[in-house]
Chains A and B, each alone.
Chain A
Amino acid sequence: MQNSILMLFLVLAALSALVFTFVFISSKKAGMSVQGLSNPLRKRFWFLLILFVVLGIFASVTIPRSPYFLFADENPSRVVHVAAMQFAFIMSEKAIDPKSPVGEASIELPANELVEFRVTSLDVNHGFAIYDQSNRLIAQTQAMPGYVNRLRWKFKEPGKYTILCLEFCGMAHQVMRSSFTVK
């Protein structure tokens, strides 16, 4: 996913740089006479229409795939409660009591089954970002005090997954991490 996003960006950025360079050179070559662009209003209209249609297609294809709608019709086979706090994640398959939060030493989840993470925070805002074994970010949500964000995901590959905090939360934010295993 990240690679294709980067490629898309690089191609579009290179195209834009080419257009600006081309237009600049055309001005330097123009001499004394204004040749300009013929029918600019018409061309502007077409440019706008194409952009509108492209963005419309992007929006209609991507919005239904937003994480809020992921696996919405299915029932999760496992639920993991996550309570984030400065500077650790507490995870348990049982509900966590905020007054005496206790988690499980290790979490094992099944591959190819729907897992729901119920993520909250006991102090400040944190991030709950899941990285696969090649350190690629695959899914995330925020941990916010007073709220529970439900993140649903199916893990295809067995192995160890790392969790990192992706919302700056204080002086030890960089060491706030945890993990679980998918079998």
Chain B
Amino acid sequence: MESIKLRKITSLWILIVLVLFIVNIVLGILMRLNQGEIIHQSPITFYANMTTHGLTQIGIWFVAGMAAVNYLLQRYVKTSYSANVVAMVLTVIGILMLWASTYIGKFHAGWTFLYPLPLKIMWAKWATPMFLGSILVMGVGWLTWSVSMMTQLLKKYPLTRALAWQHFKKNPSTQTPPFILISMITLIGIIACLLGAVLLLAMYSAEYFSNGTFVNDALLMKNLTFFFGHTIANEMLYLGLAVIYELFPEVGGRPKWKTTWYVALAWNCTLVFILTAFFHHLYMDFVQPVGFQIVGQIASYMASLPAASVTIFSVLVAVYRTPIKWSLTNLLFFIGVAGWVIGGLGAVIDVTITNNFVLHNTLWVPAHFHTYNALGNVLFSLAFFHWFFNPIYQGHP
């Protein structure tokens, strides 16, 4: 019964994601047609589309990853159906509020809604609280969902075991499945950045309701914005990687992957690098302490090491001269990893401060992001969707 309910809600998540994905693709095409002067939209319509496109896209691929991880997590621990429902209801309400703010209220502060732009009202007055409220509603839903999953995980796997620290010793007595390790690392990152968003929204409301008596610090607000925005965009990819570790060998008819000391080390390091890499969004703010700028470059470089030498290398080793039962599912995973590598190369080039000096906020940024998202993360989720609906694999989790 429980698993039927979970299957139904996961199907609904997939449906919501795919419908919104198609709408979002249309928005993207309209923006490009406008830039190419084939159609002519007013700047306000264009920027409202830009705001909606960016935030909806991040939102849907994040929930797609969460829904997949929740579904597979049921193989190991009992997950909360109510938390899943709460997340879905709040996500749908949040998206509707977002769209109301951009399309009815004409709110158009961009997907980064960089302080203090949302407070410089150039749209319906109610659109700013509606927009910030939409982020709050979605954030609360996702926080509930992630905390619930983490709590269930911790009931079975104590923290040190969930983080696979026993693998740093010789002959560990227990195994932590890679899926549990990656889910735990990713959930910690997600909860941290969502708490950052809560703080950001609290500071916005403090200023909004102060009638001009309280003004935030623009540099602090920008740091908080990217701690939230960069990290959540990055974590959604890691949710996809958790799914790959679980399903790629299984679908290909190969033995399950195991956690080893270097897998454990790589993912524990990833947690640190992922939470400090966001500084690269502030390279062109020369007043930011230089130490943070250097941490930004080094953490962003270092984040690529465990990704390349553990995950990507493992996928290549698992396929090289090995008979695999190829299906659309693992083909999408495999091409997705290649797309992630290519988009990642664009990212590593851009996180080099001297390169960023001539690339920051140019078309390079959406280009690399769309490469790793559309050719990487989206394919990971589509692979899961294909696996999920394929009758051959039914009976799982």
Contacts from A to B (Cβ < 8 Å): 1-2, 5, 8-9, 12-13, 16-17, 19-20, 23-24, 26-37, 40, 44, 47-48, 51-52, 55, 58-59, 62-63, 65-68, 86, 123-125, 127, 129, 137-142, 144-151, 166-174
Contact = CB atoms under 8 A, between A and B. Distances in A.
B322 interface: yes
A67 B304 CA distance: 24
B44 interface: yes
A40 B218 CA distance: 49
Contacts of A141: 284-286
B110 A9 contact: no
A149 B355 CA distance: 19
Nearest to A65: B354
B197 interface: no
Contact of B301 (A59, A146, A170): A59
The 10 closest A-B pairs by CB, nearest first: A48-B309, A35-B321, A166-B361, A20-B338, A66-B353, A149-B286, A168-B110, A147-B287, A62-B354, A124-B117
A59 B361 CA distance: 21
A167 B222 CA distance: 12
A44 B323 contact: no
B352 to A, nearest CB: 5
A59 B222 contact: no
Contacts of A32: 323
Given A52-B305, A142-B285, A5 B355 contact: yes
Nearest to A128: B284
Given A16-B345, A51-B305, A141-B286, A168 B319 contact: no
A31 to B, nearest CB: 6
- Interface band, chain B: 35 or more
Contact of B323 (A9, A20, A31): A31
Interface of B: 43-44, 47, 50, 108-110, 112, 114-117, 120, 122, 217-219, 222, 262, 284-287, 290, 293-294, 297-298, 301-302, 304-305, 308-310, 313, 316-317, 319-324, 326, 334-335, 337-338, 341-342, 345-346, 348-349, 352-355, 357-362
A44 B315 CA distance: 12
A171 B219 contact: no
Contacts of A26: 319-321
A72 to B, nearest CB: 11
Contacts of B322: 27, 30, 34-36
A66 B293 contact: yes
Contacts of A139: 357-358
A30 B321 contact: yes
Given A55-B348, A125-B218, 7 more contacts: A8-B349, A27-B324, A31-B323, A86-B120, A147-B285, A171-B108, A171-B122
Contacts of B108: 170-171
Contact of A124 (B116, B286, B290): B116
B361 A66 contact: no
B285 to A, nearest CB: 5
22 contacts: A5-B358, A5-B359, A16-B338, A20-B316, A20-B338, A23-B319, A26-B319, A28-B326, A30-B322, A37-B317, A51-B308, A55-B301, A55-B302, A58-B352, A63-B294, A66-B353, A67-B286, A68-B290, A140-B360, A140-B361, A166-B362, A173-B43
B313 A47 contact: yes
B358 A30 contact: no
Nearest to A44: B313
B217 A146 contact: yes
B218 A147 contact: yes
Contacts of A171: 43-44, 47, 108, 122
Nearest to A40: B317
Contact of A144 (B262, B285, B298, B358): B285
Given A13-B342, A59-B301, A171-B47, A147 B219 contact: yes
A48 B305 contact: yes
Given A13-B342, A32-B323, A5 B349 contact: yes
Nearest to A139: B357
A144 B297 contact: no
Contacts of A35: 321-322
A16 B354 CA distance: 24
